[in-house]
Amino acid sequence: MDQSSINFDLDFPEGVVHFTFPKRDEPRLLWQLTEEIIPVADTLAEMGSSIAATFGKTVTCGAGCGVCCRQMVPLSPPEAAIIFDVVDKLPPKRKSDVCAAFSRALVALAKAGIKDEISEVYRVSTDPAKVREINRRYFDLGISCPFLQDGSCSIYSRRPSRCREYSVMSSPQLCADPFNNPVKRLPLTLKLSESLSHAWSSLSGKPPVIIPLVKALEWVEHNRDVCTLSVCGAEHVVQGVLEFACTKANKSAAHDLASHSGLKNEQTSAGA
Protein backbone atom coordinates (compact mmCIF):
# COMPACT_ATOMS: atom_id res chain seq x y z
CA MET A 1 0.00 0.00 0.00
CA ASP A 2 1.24 3.48 -0.85
CA GLN A 3 2.38 5.00 2.45
CA SER A 4 2.72 8.47 0.91
CA SER A 5 -1.04 8.88 0.47
CA ILE A 6 -4.27 8.19 2.28
CA ASN A 7 -6.85 6.01 0.52
CA PHE A 8 -10.49 5.49 1.44
CA ASP A 9 -13.88 4.68 -0.10
CA LEU A 10 -17.17 6.43 0.61
CA ASP A 11 -20.59 5.02 -0.27
CA PHE A 12 -22.66 7.99 -1.47
CA PRO A 13 -26.26 7.49 -2.64
CA GLU A 14 -24.98 8.02 -6.20
CA GLY A 15 -22.39 5.24 -5.76
CA VAL A 16 -19.06 4.36 -4.18
CA VAL A 17 -16.24 6.82 -4.76
CA HIS A 18 -12.57 6.02 -4.14
CA PHE A 19 -10.37 8.84 -2.84
CA THR A 20 -6.60 9.17 -2.79
CA PHE A 21 -4.89 12.20 -1.27
CA PRO A 22 -1.15 12.70 -0.77
CA LYS A 23 0.27 12.99 2.71
CA ARG A 24 2.19 16.19 3.25
CA ASP A 25 4.19 17.32 6.24
CA GLU A 26 3.79 21.03 5.67
CA PRO A 27 0.66 22.94 6.74
CA ARG A 28 -1.90 23.76 4.01
CA LEU A 29 -4.15 26.78 3.71
CA LEU A 30 -7.73 25.60 4.18
CA TRP A 31 -9.09 27.56 1.21
CA GLN A 32 -6.45 26.07 -1.11
CA LEU A 33 -7.20 22.59 0.22
CA THR A 34 -10.86 23.28 -0.44
CA GLU A 35 -10.09 23.71 -4.14
CA GLU A 36 -8.90 20.10 -4.15
CA ILE A 37 -12.10 18.91 -2.44
CA ILE A 38 -14.68 20.75 -4.54
CA PRO A 39 -14.26 18.62 -7.72
CA VAL A 40 -15.87 15.76 -5.77
CA ALA A 41 -19.13 17.52 -6.63
CA ASP A 42 -18.35 17.05 -10.33
CA THR A 43 -17.74 13.33 -9.79
CA LEU A 44 -21.06 12.84 -8.02
CA ALA A 45 -22.90 14.95 -10.59
CA GLU A 46 -21.55 12.69 -13.34
CA MET A 47 -22.62 9.62 -11.39
CA GLY A 48 -26.06 11.14 -10.80
CA SER A 49 -26.39 11.90 -14.50
CA SER A 50 -25.59 8.28 -15.33
CA ILE A 51 -28.29 7.08 -12.94
CA ALA A 52 -30.78 9.51 -14.46
CA ALA A 53 -29.92 8.24 -17.94
CA THR A 54 -31.08 4.75 -16.97
CA PHE A 55 -34.53 6.31 -16.42
CA GLY A 56 -34.41 8.05 -19.78
CA LYS A 57 -33.68 11.43 -18.22
CA THR A 58 -30.87 13.80 -19.20
CA VAL A 59 -29.41 17.05 -17.91
CA THR A 60 -30.68 19.88 -20.11
CA CYS A 61 -28.34 22.65 -18.92
CA GLY A 62 -26.19 24.25 -21.62
CA ALA A 63 -23.81 27.12 -22.21
CA GLY A 64 -25.46 30.48 -22.79
CA CYS A 65 -28.43 29.96 -20.47
CA GLY A 66 -27.25 31.35 -17.15
CA VAL A 67 -30.68 31.44 -15.46
CA CYS A 68 -29.35 29.53 -12.46
CA CYS A 69 -26.64 32.21 -12.21
CA ARG A 70 -29.38 34.58 -11.07
CA GLN A 71 -30.23 32.46 -8.05
CA MET A 72 -28.58 32.87 -4.68
CA VAL A 73 -25.46 30.69 -4.38
CA PRO A 74 -24.49 29.64 -0.83
CA LEU A 75 -20.77 29.43 -0.01
CA SER A 76 -18.77 28.04 2.88
CA PRO A 77 -16.12 30.39 4.34
CA PRO A 78 -13.20 28.74 2.50
CA GLU A 79 -15.17 28.96 -0.75
CA ALA A 80 -15.68 32.68 -0.08
CA ALA A 81 -11.89 32.93 0.26
CA ILE A 82 -11.53 31.23 -3.12
CA ILE A 83 -13.85 33.82 -4.68
CA PHE A 84 -11.80 36.57 -3.04
CA ASP A 85 -8.63 35.09 -4.56
CA VAL A 86 -10.29 34.76 -7.97
CA VAL A 87 -11.19 38.45 -7.98
CA ASP A 88 -7.81 39.50 -6.62
CA LYS A 89 -6.00 37.79 -9.52
CA LEU A 90 -8.18 39.27 -12.30
CA PRO A 91 -6.67 41.80 -14.75
CA PRO A 92 -7.23 45.39 -13.50
CA LYS A 93 -10.08 46.30 -15.87
CA ARG A 94 -11.91 43.01 -15.37
CA LYS A 95 -11.36 43.21 -11.60
CA SER A 96 -12.88 46.69 -11.52
CA ASP A 97 -15.93 45.51 -13.48
CA VAL A 98 -16.47 42.46 -11.27
CA CYS A 99 -16.07 44.45 -8.04
CA ALA A 100 -18.60 46.96 -9.36
CA ALA A 101 -21.02 44.09 -10.03
CA PHE A 102 -20.60 42.86 -6.45
CA SER A 103 -21.28 46.39 -5.18
CA ARG A 104 -24.41 46.77 -7.32
CA ALA A 105 -25.72 43.47 -6.00
CA LEU A 106 -25.30 44.59 -2.38
CA VAL A 107 -27.03 47.90 -3.11
CA ALA A 108 -29.96 46.05 -4.70
CA LEU A 109 -30.24 43.73 -1.70
CA ALA A 110 -30.14 46.66 0.71
CA LYS A 111 -32.86 48.51 -1.20
CA ALA A 112 -35.00 45.37 -1.15
CA GLY A 113 -34.48 45.07 2.61
CA ILE A 114 -32.97 41.57 2.50
CA LYS A 115 -29.20 42.21 2.62
CA ASP A 116 -28.95 41.10 6.25
CA GLU A 117 -31.70 38.50 6.04
CA ILE A 118 -30.00 36.42 3.36
CA SER A 119 -26.98 35.95 5.60
CA GLU A 120 -29.10 34.02 8.08
CA VAL A 121 -31.28 32.01 5.72
CA TYR A 122 -29.07 28.93 5.35
CA ARG A 123 -28.58 28.25 9.03
CA VAL A 124 -29.48 24.67 9.99
CA SER A 125 -32.46 25.75 12.10
CA THR A 126 -34.03 27.83 9.31
CA ASP A 127 -37.49 26.79 8.15
CA PRO A 128 -37.26 25.35 4.58
CA ALA A 129 -40.25 27.48 3.61
CA LYS A 130 -38.33 30.58 4.64
CA VAL A 131 -35.30 29.44 2.65
CA ARG A 132 -37.47 29.07 -0.44
CA GLU A 133 -39.14 32.44 0.11
CA ILE A 134 -35.87 34.37 0.52
CA ASN A 135 -34.48 32.60 -2.54
CA ARG A 136 -37.57 33.66 -4.50
CA ARG A 137 -37.23 37.27 -3.37
CA TYR A 138 -33.57 37.23 -4.36
CA PHE A 139 -34.36 35.78 -7.80
CA ASP A 140 -37.07 38.36 -8.38
CA LEU A 141 -34.44 41.11 -8.08
CA GLY A 142 -32.75 39.80 -11.25
CA ILE A 143 -29.23 39.99 -9.79
CA SER A 144 -26.77 38.23 -12.08
CA CYS A 145 -23.71 36.50 -10.67
CA PRO A 146 -20.78 38.95 -10.98
CA PHE A 147 -18.93 36.29 -12.98
CA LEU A 148 -21.67 35.74 -15.57
CA GLN A 149 -20.54 36.73 -19.07
CA ASP A 150 -22.64 36.19 -22.19
CA GLY A 151 -24.78 33.66 -20.34
CA SER A 152 -21.81 31.56 -19.23
CA CYS A 153 -19.60 31.28 -16.14
CA SER A 154 -16.32 33.14 -16.56
CA ILE A 155 -14.67 31.24 -13.66
CA TYR A 156 -15.96 27.79 -14.57
CA SER A 157 -12.90 25.85 -13.36
CA ARG A 158 -13.03 27.61 -9.97
CA ARG A 159 -16.79 27.85 -9.55
CA PRO A 160 -18.30 27.01 -6.12
CA SER A 161 -19.47 23.55 -5.11
CA ARG A 162 -23.17 24.45 -5.19
CA CYS A 163 -22.89 25.51 -8.84
CA ARG A 164 -21.54 22.03 -9.62
CA GLU A 165 -24.35 20.37 -7.69
CA TYR A 166 -27.13 22.22 -9.53
CA SER A 167 -28.33 20.65 -12.80
CA VAL A 168 -31.75 20.69 -14.44
CA MET A 169 -33.49 17.80 -16.23
CA SER A 170 -36.66 19.62 -17.32
CA SER A 171 -37.10 21.98 -20.26
CA PRO A 172 -34.74 24.98 -20.04
CA GLN A 173 -37.70 27.28 -20.78
CA LEU A 174 -39.17 26.44 -17.37
CA CYS A 175 -36.13 27.94 -15.64
CA ALA A 176 -37.30 31.45 -16.54
CA ASP A 177 -39.65 31.19 -13.55
CA PRO A 178 -38.25 28.36 -11.40
CA PHE A 179 -40.42 29.16 -8.39
CA ASN A 180 -43.71 28.74 -10.23
CA ASN A 181 -42.79 26.27 -12.97
CA PRO A 182 -42.20 22.53 -12.38
CA VAL A 183 -38.42 22.68 -12.74
CA LYS A 184 -36.90 19.25 -12.09
CA ARG A 185 -33.35 19.11 -10.83
CA LEU A 186 -30.85 16.28 -10.93
CA PRO A 187 -31.45 14.72 -7.50
CA LEU A 188 -27.99 15.02 -5.97
CA THR A 189 -27.83 14.59 -2.22
CA LEU A 190 -24.45 16.30 -1.80
CA LYS A 191 -24.29 19.72 -0.17
CA LEU A 192 -20.56 20.21 0.11
CA SER A 193 -20.78 23.84 1.24
CA GLU A 194 -22.39 22.72 4.51
CA SER A 195 -19.62 20.19 5.20
CA LEU A 196 -16.92 22.72 4.39
CA SER A 197 -18.57 25.27 6.67
CA HIS A 198 -18.56 22.80 9.55
CA ALA A 199 -14.89 21.98 8.87
CA TRP A 200 -14.02 25.69 8.93
CA SER A 201 -15.99 26.06 12.16
CA SER A 202 -14.14 23.19 13.83
CA LEU A 203 -10.75 24.56 12.79
CA SER A 204 -11.44 28.24 13.50
CA GLY A 205 -13.50 27.86 16.67
CA LYS A 206 -16.26 30.02 15.15
CA PRO A 207 -19.91 29.07 14.52
CA PRO A 208 -20.68 27.56 11.10
CA VAL A 209 -21.78 30.13 8.55
CA ILE A 210 -23.00 30.11 4.97
CA ILE A 211 -22.29 33.18 2.83
CA PRO A 212 -24.29 34.22 -0.24
CA LEU A 213 -21.86 34.53 -3.15
CA VAL A 214 -22.63 38.19 -3.78
CA LYS A 215 -21.55 38.95 -0.19
CA ALA A 216 -18.30 36.94 -0.42
CA LEU A 217 -15.94 39.89 -0.91
CA GLU A 218 -17.56 41.89 1.87
CA TRP A 219 -17.50 38.91 4.25
CA VAL A 220 -13.82 38.11 3.60
CA GLU A 221 -12.87 41.76 4.08
CA HIS A 222 -14.29 41.49 7.60
CA ASN A 223 -12.92 38.00 8.22
CA ARG A 224 -9.45 38.06 6.68
CA ASP A 225 -8.26 35.20 8.88
CA VAL A 226 -10.15 32.82 6.57
CA CYS A 227 -7.39 33.48 4.01
CA THR A 228 -4.60 32.52 6.40
CA LEU A 229 -6.16 29.60 8.29
CA SER A 230 -3.85 26.63 7.78
CA VAL A 231 -4.11 22.97 8.78
CA CYS A 232 -1.66 20.16 9.44
CA GLY A 233 -2.49 16.62 8.40
CA ALA A 234 -4.46 17.99 5.48
CA GLU A 235 -5.32 14.52 4.20
CA HIS A 236 -7.24 13.80 7.42
CA VAL A 237 -9.12 17.09 7.10
CA VAL A 238 -10.11 16.09 3.56
CA GLN A 239 -11.28 12.68 4.75
CA GLY A 240 -13.26 14.24 7.59
CA VAL A 241 -15.01 16.72 5.29
CA LEU A 242 -15.97 14.01 2.81
CA GLU A 243 -17.11 11.55 5.48
CA PHE A 244 -19.32 14.27 6.98
CA ALA A 245 -20.71 15.07 3.51
CA CYS A 246 -21.34 11.38 2.83
CA THR A 247 -23.20 10.91 6.11
CA LYS A 248 -25.40 13.94 5.43
CA ALA A 249 -26.03 12.78 1.86
CA ASN A 250 -27.16 9.33 2.96
CA LYS A 251 -29.46 10.78 5.61
CA SER A 252 -30.97 13.08 2.98
CA ALA A 253 -31.42 10.17 0.57
CA ALA A 254 -33.10 8.04 3.24
CA HIS A 255 -35.49 10.88 4.06
CA ASP A 256 -36.34 11.43 0.41
CA LEU A 257 -36.80 7.74 -0.22
CA ALA A 258 -39.34 7.61 2.59
CA SER A 259 -41.34 10.54 1.23
CA HIS A 260 -41.00 10.30 -2.54
CA SER A 261 -41.23 7.77 -5.32
CA GLY A 262 -39.59 7.56 -8.72
CA LEU A 263 -36.01 8.45 -9.54
CA LYS A 264 -34.41 8.50 -6.09
CA ASN A 265 -35.23 11.96 -4.68
CA GLU A 266 -36.26 13.77 -7.85
CA GLN A 267 -36.91 17.37 -6.88
CA THR A 268 -39.34 19.91 -8.22
CA SER A 269 -37.93 22.96 -6.56
CA ALA A 270 -35.93 26.12 -7.00
CA GLY A 271 -33.18 27.79 -5.08
CA ALA A 272 -29.53 26.91 -5.11
Which of 50-54, 137-141, 193-197, 265-269 is predicted with the least confidence, judged by mean pLDDT?
Answer: 265-269
Taking 70 as the threshold, does the pLDDT of residue 264 lie above it?
Answer: no
Predicted confidence at residue 272, as pLDDT, reads: 60
Name the residue ranges covered by the structural domains of the chain: 5-268
Residue pLDDT, tens place only, 43-88:
999 999 998 888 888 887 777 777 788 899 999 999 999 999 999 9
pTM of the complete model beyond 0.85: yes
DSSP per-residue letters across the chain: --TTEEEEEEEETTEEEEEEEE--SS-EEHHHHHHHHTTHHHHHHHHHHHHHHTTT------TT--GGGGS--EE-HHHHHHHHHHHHTS-HHHHHHHHHHHHHHHHHHHHHT-TTGGGTTTSTTS-HHHHHHHHHHHHHTTPPPTTEETTEETTGGG--HHHHH--B-S-GGGGGSTTTS--EE------HHHHHHHHHHHHHTS----EEGGGHHHHHHH-GGGGT-EESSHHHHHHHHHHHHHHHHHHHHHHHHHH--SSTT-EE----
Predicted confidence at residue 173, as pLDDT, reads: 85
